[in-house]
Amino acid sequence: MFKSNWNYPTTMWVGENRIKDLGLACENLKIKKPLLVTDSGLVNTKMISETILLLKDKDISVQVFSNITGNPTGTNVNDGVSFFKENDCDGVIAFGGGSGLDVGKAVAFMSGQNLPIWDFEDIGDNWKKANSNKIAPIIAVPTTAGTGSETGRASVILNEKTGVKNIIFHPKFLPSIVILDPLLTIALPPKITAATGMDALAHNLEAYCAPGYHPMADGIALEGMKLINQWLLKAFKDGSDIEARTNMLTAASMGSTAFQKGLGAIHSLSHPVNALNNIHHGLSNAIFMPYVLTFNKSMIEKKIIKICDHLELKERTFDGFINWVLDLRKKLAMPHKLSEVIKKENFDIDRLSEMALADPSTLGNPKKLTLADMKTMYKHSFSGNLFNG
Degrees, nearest 5: CA angle 137-198-240: 80
Q: Strands, DSSP E only, in the chain?
A: 3-6, 11-15, 34-37, 63-65, 91-96, 138-142, 154-159, 164-169, 177-180
User: pLDDT digit string (tens) for 345-374?
Assistant: 999 999 999 999 999 999 999 999 999 999
- Please tell me whether residue 91 adopts helix, strand or coil conformation: strand
171/256 same-domain check: no
Extract long-range pairs of 383-388: CB within 8 Å, 24+ residues apart. Answer: 383/337, 383/339, 384/336, 384/337, 384/339, 386/290, 386/291, 386/294, 386/322, 387/291, 387/294, 387/295, 387/297, 388/294
pTM for the full model? 0.95
* pLDDT tens for each residue of 262-292: 999 999 999 999 999 989 999 999 999 999 9
Q: What is the pLDDT of residue 46?
A: 95
Whether residues 131 and 152 share a domain: the answer is yes
Within-domain flag for 388: no
Structural domain including 268 reads 190-383
My answer on whether 28 and 159 are in the same domain is: yes
Supply the pLDDT for residue 70.
86
Nearest to 229 by CA among 320, 152, 150: 320
The answer to the question of residue 389 being in a domain is: no
Both 122 and 225 in a single domain?
Answer: no
Residues 31 and 58 in one domain: yes
Q: Which of 120, 151, 184 is the last residue of a domain?
A: 184
Indicate the number of domains in the chain: 2
Q: What is the pLDDT along the chain (389 residues), one digit of tens a residue?
A: 778 999 999 999 999 999 999 999 999 999 999 999 999 999 999 999 999 999 999 999 999 999 999 889 999 999 999 999 999 999 999 999 999 999 999 999 999 999 999 999 999 999 999 999 999 999 999 999 999 999 999 999 999 999 988 999 999 999 999 999 999 999 999 999 999 999 999 999 999 999 999 999 999 999 999 999 999 999 999 999 999 999 999 999 999 999 999 999 999 999 999 999 989 999 999 999 999 999 999 999 999 999 999 999 999 999 999 999 999 999 999 999 999 999 999 999 999 999 999 999 999 999 999 999 999 999 999 999 999 86
Domain termination site, one of 184, 209, 243: 184
- pLDDT value for 71: 86
